[in-house]
Amino acid sequence: MLSAFASAFRTPDLRKKLLFTLAMIGLYRLGASVPTPNTNSVAINACIKSASGSSQTAYALINLFSGGALLKLSVFALGIMPYITASIIIQLLVVVIPRFEALKKEGQSGQQKLTQYSRYLTIGLAILQSSGFVALARSGQLFSGATDCHPLYRESIFALGTMVIIMTAGTAVVMWLGELVTDRGVGNGMSILMFTSIAARIPNEGQTILKTSGGFAFTLILLLGLAIIAAVVFVEQAQRRIPVQYAKRMIGRRMYGGTSTYLPLKVNMAGVVPVIFASSLLYIPQLVSQLNGNSTSGVQLWITNHLINQQDWIHITVYFLLIIFFTYFYVGITFNPEERADDMKKYGGFIPGIRPGRPTSEYLQYVLSRITLPGALYLGFIAVLPNFFFSMTGGNNQNFPFGGTAVLIMVGVALDTVKQIESQLMQRNYEGFLR
């Protein structure tokens, strides 16, 4: 692998792409460290240290994707999360709105239009989210459990509005950086920025584990993390290959077709999206609890003790079942067996032993429904894994860096980026990463 990287740096065009990608990553991390005007960095650090941890639990997903910049109220506090949310919403609307579905079928021009809609929606979501987090910081609820927390210098409308505008502009800059990396760098820009944000938190989390749990627990968690990463790589690479045969066709004086290929169906076709959906849905009780304040009703206490408490078996069970449900839901709306069967029939393709058309569609649905179950169980197990290690990590599952959304994103992005670099090296007759 090291020799492959050396070969990549010896190639002028690849070296430029890699250096450009590293420069954009450095610029992104710099923006994540620059505080927004009107924020008291010293007071924010004190608030984070004295917080009870519930604030980090409530906004863990956005804080994860921003590399810890959210709780520091930096310029890139929202990170890439608004763009991810907008992309998922547009992808879901393609199934619902006929206009979007027609744009998707138009090819590259239609995809560019959908991308433009995602950008507009990203800005709108950034305005809403930045306004909400500035309001939470002003009221002190962003750092719940912290005593005498005053993260802002001024609370005037002009000062708060300036913070919202700068955070929204920061989100637009992050979106622009991601698209620059995609066009002029290596790999998918948005995914690489997410990878950078998550990886930036691992040293601090490892240091916290070492201080709170000791060297033995730290070593044990490292070994467990390596085993989890190996298992995730194995499942992410797993696929069901359905053989496809193309009949010979005479077009003019030439014979086309007659080739054999396969249709790959990944075990985890949904990626990390079901985990994001389930996490977002489980944040609703936390937000409702904060809006109600210190209510002592029976329903409020039950929500606090069971749905919000991540150590409770009810929370773990609901989280696990939601991930399974959203896995089937997302795969069902993103993979259309009838469309795939029609495309195969149009180009003379068929599955050996299966008639083209409706029988092919039913067979694809049959296979898909069965390989989705182990993929859903795998996602659920990886996502709830940190909840079983509270005692080893000092009682906060956010200090467990090798479980849940983090390891799924990091491994997926790393595999995709390595494959892209390897493909470019193979085009220049260099040895790849895997020998």
Domain 201-435 has CATH 1.10.3370.10: yes
Please provide the DSSP assignment of 85-137 as one string: HHHHHHHHHHHH-HHHHHHHHT-HHHHHHHHHHHHHHHHHHHHHHHHHHHHHH
For 106-141, the pLDDT digits (tens) are: 878 888 898 899 999 999 999 998 998 888 888 777
Q: What is the mean pLDDT of residues 148-163?
A: 84
In the chain, ranges of CATH 1.10.3370.10 domains: 1-186, 201-435
Considering only CA atoms, which of 264, 226, 173 is closest in space to residue 407?
Answer: 226
The residue whose two tokens read 């773990």 is 316
For 289-341, the pLDDT digits (tens) are: 665 655 556 666 776 666 666 667 787 888 889 889 989 988 888 888 888 88
From residue 69, alpha-carbon distances to 55, 62, 96, 149 in Å are 14, 9, 35, 18
| Correct CATH for 1-186 of 1.10.10.10, 1.10.10.60, 3.40.50.300, 1.10.3370.10 | 1.10.3370.10
pLDDT of residue 251: 66
254-256/239-246 β-pairing: unpaired
More reliable by pLDDT, 337 or 148 = 337
What is the spatial distance between Cα 52 and Cα 414, in angstroms, rounded to a whole number? Answer: 33
pLDDT of residue 244: 87
More reliable by pLDDT, 368 or 215 = 368
Tokens representing residue 291 in the block: 């809006």
The residue whose two tokens read 């193979």 is 426
Q: What is the mean pLDDT of residues 364-387?
A: 86
Q: Are 126 and 168 in contact (CB under 8 A)?
A: yes
